[in-house]
């Protein structure tokens, strides 16, 4: 009968176990966070919940959307998409993880935009009942686009 012994370095075993645990944690975080937005946690399953979301951001909007339809998030980022996504990132959204996906776009007329001379619209992008982005667009000739969170006056 033959007996073999091995010297075990506890420090190396702990390092290997730590690396495995870290890998598992990273995988869980990667697969859990795929379609979640950090800015909104409540699902938006109907028109009332979208209007309520806009009201929570400080906007009074029309009761039903002026326009709605599907849009496809570009697979390849153009300069214009990158600038728009920078706006989204500034408010806690990131559209790059939705590249190539078709999402719903709802556009509401804003009724309380300060000093508006032309229509102002709130756009909400929704994927799998989660808001993934949005903006407020002032259609005046010198109008601007801003994040969906209303700036304090």
Between CA 130 and CA 39 the distance in angstroms is: 10
Percent of the chain surpassing pLDDT 70: 79
Between 143 and 33, the more confident residue is 143
Between 150 and 116, the more confident residue is 116
Q: Which residues contact 138 (CB under 8 A, 6 or more apart)?
A: 113, 116, 118, 120, 144, 145
60, 112 contact by CB (below 8 A): yes
- For residue 38, the model assigns a pLDDT of 41
- For residue 58, the model assigns a pLDDT of 94
- For residue 139, pLDDT over 50 is answered with yes
Rounded mean pLDDT of 61-80?
A: 94
Question: pLDDT tens-digit profile of 98-133?
Answer: 999 999 999 999 999 999 999 999 999 999 999 999
Rounded mean pLDDT of 62-84?
A: 93
What is the average pLDDT score of the chain? Answer: 85
Between CA 87 and CA 90 the distance in angstroms is: 5
* Backbone dihedral region for residue 100 (phi beyond 0: left; psi -120 to 50: alpha; all else: beta): left
The band of 12, judged by pLDDT with boundaries at 50, 70 and 90, is confident
pTM of the complete model = 0.72
- For residue 37, the model assigns a pLDDT of 40
- For residue 80, the model assigns a pLDDT of 92
């Amino acid at each position: 009968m033959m007996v073999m012994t091995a010297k075990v370095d506890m420090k190396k075993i702990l390092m290997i176990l730590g690396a495995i645990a870290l890998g598992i944690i990273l995988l869980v975080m990667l697969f859990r966070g795929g379609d979640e937005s950090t800015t909104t946690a409540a699902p938006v399953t109907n028109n009332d919940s979208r209007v309520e979301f806009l009201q929570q951001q400080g906007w009074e909007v029309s009761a039903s959307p002026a326009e709605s339809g599907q849009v496809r998030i570009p697979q390849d980022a153009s300069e214009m998409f990158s600038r728009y996504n920078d706006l989204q990132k500034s408010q806690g959204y990131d559209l790059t993880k939705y590249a190539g996906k078709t999402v719903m776009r709802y556009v509401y007329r804003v009724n309380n935009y300060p000093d508006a001379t032309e229509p102002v619209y709130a756009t909400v992008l929704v994927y799998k009942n989660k808001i993934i982005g949005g903006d407020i667009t002032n259609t005046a000739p010198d109008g601007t686009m801003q994040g969906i969170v209303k700036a304090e006056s």
